[in-house]
């Protein structure tokens, strides 16, 4: 098998397809390198004394794990000096992070969830990093939070790393979705799947069923029909999977299809759903659409949502097109 490294892939994207420029190429390489470091930290577990709580809370009021804090620091430190960024934002930080004045600034904005699936860290279940890249407004030297509030359609790149039995990086720059596997001996990312495609039909769904009593009626109806199986209105049996790490659930869907849901529910109308638009839903929606799937908030395309807040939450329905269309249709009806 001819091995294509991430570096080779990116150089070709820049030269032949001109989908990225040199600065974006550097940005992606730096993020990938940071993910490699996070992967090594994650895999050390108790031996690296990285498990457990950091005894701090993030802006969402969630207790941070040590690895949440470590991963955030790794991404900040890796990205601040390269000259490719105008500013950064993270799930773990209340407001945006400017590039220190001693370093040059670049044209891009980087957003990330440094370690998604925090509840799975200490139990050795797959977790991951999610990132989204936007362009800073022209000539903007010190971006504000407002400058980050661009719809998902403005993303120039998005990706995630999943730290599972294998460490993988899944990337799109708007020219399909490609998967790289970390070769730990060589320390390099190797292209292992080009042009990932989500099958349009599926018999598998993912939702946290323990919230069922709180759901709104369109989601109740949709999931009831899936559970009714071959003798119900859908006429086929469905299987359920819930890893509670969005990266791992989305990765399964990219690999073999499925529909992932984190709906809004009746509990707290001020928090529509759990997942955050800017660094969870938008990058995953771009990846899923680039792989031929669909991603909505129940009403419309996630990528079209005009953001109002950096840490805004949205309902998420994504994956195999036919199922996303059914559940979205139930919201309209």
- Which of the residues 60 through 99 are near ligand AHM (CB under 6 A)? 62, 91
For residue 47, the tally of other CB atoms under 10 A from its CB is: 8
Quote the CA–CA distance of 41 and 195 in Å, as a whole number: 29
Q: With CB under 5 A as the contact rule, which of the stretches 53-61, 106-114, 184-192, 256-264 interacts with Mg ion? A: 106-114
Q: Which CB, 26 or 246, lies closer to ligand AHM?
A: 246
Question: How many Cα atoms within 13 Å fall on the side-chain side of residue 261?
Answer: 28
- Which of the residues 261 through 300 are near ligand AHM (CB under 6 A)? 262, 274
The secondary structure element, H or E, covering residue 2 is: none
* 131-134 contacts at long range (C-beta below 8 A, 24 or more positions apart): 131/31, 131/158, 131/159, 131/160, 131/279, 131/283, 132/157, 132/158, 132/278, 132/279, 132/282, 132/283, 132/286, 133/24, 133/27, 133/28, 133/108, 133/109, 133/157, 133/158, 134/108, 134/109
Name the DSSP class of 276: B
Query: Closest by alpha carbon to 238, among 216, 215, 209?
Result: 209
- Which position has the token pair 């999610």? 130
Residue 68 binds Mg ion (CB under 5 A): no
Q: How many residues bind ligand AHM (CB under 6 A)?
A: 13
Q: How many residues bind Mg ion (CB under 5 A)?
A: 2
Q: Which does 322 bind (CB under 5 to 8 A by kind): Mg ion, ligand AHM, none?
A: none
Residue 125 binds ligand AHM (CB under 6 A): no
How near is the Cβ of 274 to ligand AHM at its closest, in Å?
6
Q: Contact 262/274 with Cβ under 8 angstroms? A: yes
How near is the Cβ of 127 to ligand AHM at its closest, in Å?
8
Among 106, 114, 117, 319, binds ligand AHM (CB under 6 A): 117
Q: What are the residues facing 188 on neighbouring strands?
A: 183
How near is the Cβ of 62 to ligand AHM at its closest, in Å?
5
- Which of the residues 147 through 206 are near ligand AHM (CB under 6 A)? none
Query: Closest by alpha carbon to 263, among 177, 330, 333, 197?
Result: 330
Residue 113 binds Mg ion (CB under 5 A): yes
Q: With CB under 6 A as the contact rule, which of the stretches 39-47, 76-84, 218-226, 242-250 interacts with ligand AHM? A: 242-250
Q: With CB under 6 A as the contact rule, which of the stretches 26-34, 37-45, 117-125, 214-222 interacts with ligand AHM? A: 117-125
Q: Which CB, 113 or 289, lies closer to Mg ion?
A: 113
Q: Which CB, 228 or 244, lies closer to ligand AHM?
A: 244
Residue 92 binds Mg ion (CB under 5 A): no
List the structure tokens of 233: 């209105």
How near is the Cβ of 313 to ligand AHM at its closest, in Å?
10
Residues interacting with Mg ion, by CB under 5 A? 113, 116
């Amino acid at each position: 098998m001819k091995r294509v490294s991430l570096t080779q892939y990116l150089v070709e994207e820049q030269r032949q397809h001109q989908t990225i420029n040199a600065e974006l190429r550097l940005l992606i390489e730096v993020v990938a390198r940071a993910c490699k470091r996070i992967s090594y930290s994650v895999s050390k577990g108790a031996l690296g004394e990285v498990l457990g709580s950091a005894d701090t809370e993030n802006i969402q009021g969630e207790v941070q794990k040590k690895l949440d804090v470590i991963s955030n620091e790794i991404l900040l430190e890796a990205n601040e000096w390269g000259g490719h960024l105008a500013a950064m934002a993270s799930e773990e930080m209340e407001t945006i992070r400017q590039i220190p004045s001693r370093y040059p600034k670049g044209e891009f904005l980087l957003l990330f969830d440094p370690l998604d699936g925090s509840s799975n860290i200490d139990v050795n279940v797959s977790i991951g990093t999610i990132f989204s890249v936007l362009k800073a407004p022209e000539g903007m030297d010190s971006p504000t939070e407002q400058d980050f509030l661009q719809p998902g359609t403005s993303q120039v790149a998005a990706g995630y790393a999943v730290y599972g039995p294998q460490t993988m990086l899944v990337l799109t720059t708007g020219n399909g979705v490609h998967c790289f596997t970390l070769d730990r001996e060589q320390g390099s990312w190797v292209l292992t799947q080009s042009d990932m495609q989500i099958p349009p039909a599926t018999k598998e769904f993912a939702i946290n069923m323990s919230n069922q009593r709180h759901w709104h009626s369109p989601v109740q109806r949709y999931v009831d029909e899936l559970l009714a199986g071959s003798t119900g209105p859908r006429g086929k049996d469905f299987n359920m999977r819930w890893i509670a790490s969005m990266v791992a659930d989305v990765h399964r869907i990219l690999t073999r299809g499925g529909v992932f849901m984190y709906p809004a529910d009746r509990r707290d109308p001020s928090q529509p759903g759990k997942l955050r638009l800017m660094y969870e839903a938008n990058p995953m929606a771009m990846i899923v659409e680039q792989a031929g799937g669909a991603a909505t908030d129940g009403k419309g395309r996630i990528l079209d949502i005009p953001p109002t807040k950096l840490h805004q939450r949205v309902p998420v329905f994504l994956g195999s097109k036919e199922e996303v269309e059914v559940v979205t249709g139930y919201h309209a009806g």
